[in-house]
Structure 1
Amino acid sequence: MKMSNAVEQSLVVLVMLALQKDELPIKSYLLSNRLEVSESYLKKTMRKLVVAGIVQAIASKEGGFKLARSIADITLLDVYEAIEGDGSFIHSTQLADRIFLNQASNKPVEDVQQALEVAVDDVLTVFNDAEADFKKRLQNYTIAKLLQHINVDEFGKIDWRQAMVK
């Protein structure tokens, strides 16, 4: 399994939005500059977060992006599925069938096919269980938990709009 960079970038953006002074929206060009990614790439990522109801896009002169939900209500699974999709990442191409069924000339095809089905089912069960565990762990970790070690009162809210002006 490989996760796209957009998942990590999304988490950083969500932390930035959570720490934004007065919850003011942040423009995409400011976020893309800070993350050092193209604005068009970041807009595609942000669109996925908007569609998932994690981020709100505000269209106005002072608009930009801000959190659509409380950080206690945004899980890592929400972010992962917004970016990567909510489907399974386990997919079988039936490669074993194509390879081994044609090579089993000394055994009845039904015996080989049955053995392959059992083996493939076992492997897919392990992968599916691992995927379920992975998603359960992501579901149990929120942005609030990610920020729990930052004392916002001591650290202070940041006006990213001012901090990023060069």
Structure 2
Amino acid sequence: MKMSKAVEQSLVVLVMLELQTDHEPVKSYLLSDRLQVSESYLKKTMRKLVVAGIVDAIASKEGGFKLARPTDKITLLDVYEAIEGDGSFIHSTQLADRIFLNQQSDKPIEDVQEVLDVAIADVLTTFSAAEQDFKKRLKSYTIANLMQNVDSTQFGEIDWR
């Protein structure tokens, strides 16, 4: 499994928005400048967070992005699924079937298929359980948990604008 950089960037943006003085909206060009990513790239990421209801996009002269809900209502799973999607990351290409069923063998094809079916089901069940554990753990950790680790005396409120 590989996670895109946008997940980490999203987490940093959410912390920035939480620390923003008076929770005023922050413009995308300021966020992209701080993250050192292109504004167009960041806007695509922010759009995913808006669609997921994690941040609000405020269209006005003083607008920008701000948190759509309290940090104790935003989980790591919310962010992960907003960026990576909520589908399974486990996908079989049937490679084992293509390789082993096409081999010259003295075994009947039904016997080979049965062995492959059991092995593939076993592997997919293990990966599926691991995926469920992964998502369960992400769901149990909120941005508020993350903010508990941010020493407010070191950061306090910051005006990113």
TM (normalized to structure 2)? 0.97
Deviation string for 1:35-76 (max 9, x for gaps)? Answer: 000000000000000000000000000000000010000000
Q: Structure 1 103/154 Cα, relative in aligned 2: closer, same or farther at 3 Å?
A: closer
Letter of the 2:80 partner, please give it. Answer: Y
The size of the alignment, in residue pairs, is: 161
Contact 1:104–1:112 (CA under 8 A) maintained in structure 2: no
1:13-24 matched pairs, under 5 angstroms? 13-24=13-24
Residue 19 of structure 1, CA deviation: 0.5
Taking the TM superposition and a 5 Å limit, the aligned residue runs for 1:130-141 are 130-141=130-141
* TM-score, structure 1 as length reference: 0.95
Name the structure 2 match of 1:164.
none
In the aligned structure 1, how far is the partner of 2:65 from the partner of 2:135?
Answer: 27
Question: Within 5 A, what are the aligned runs for 1:1-166?
Answer: 1-152=1-152, 155-161=155-161
Unaligned runs of 5+ in 2: none
Q: Secondary structure at the match of 1:47?
A: helix
TM-align CA RMSD:
1.0
Helix, strand or coil: the match of 2:102?
Answer: helix
Residue 34 of structure 2 aligns to which amino acid in structure 1? Answer: R
Which residue identity lines up with residue 11 of structure 1 in the other structure?
L
Structure-2 separation of matches of 1:150 and 1:79: 19
CA shift, 1:152, in A, is 2.8
Q: CA deviation at 1:104?
A: 4.8
SS of 1:41's equivalent in the other structure is: helix
Moved over 2 A (4+): 149-155
* 1:156 to partner: Cα distance: 1.5
SS of corresponding position for 2:157: coil
Aligned-partner residue type, residue 31 of structure 1: L
Code of the residue aligned with 1:46 in structure 2: it is M
Partner of 1:160, secondary structure, is: coil
One-letter amino acid of the structure 2 residue matched with residue 36 of structure 1: Q
Describe the superposition over 1:57-115 as per-residue Cα deviations: whole angstroms up to 9, x where unpaired: 00000000000010000000000000000000000000000000111520010000000
Which consecutive unaligned segments of at least 5 residues does structure 1 have? 162-166
Distance 1:82 1:153 in 2: 31
After TM superposition, the structure 1 stretch with the greater mean CA deviation from structure 2, 151-160 or 73-82, is: 151-160
Identity of aligned residues (%): 78
Aligned equivalents of 1:108 and 1:155: distance in 2? 69
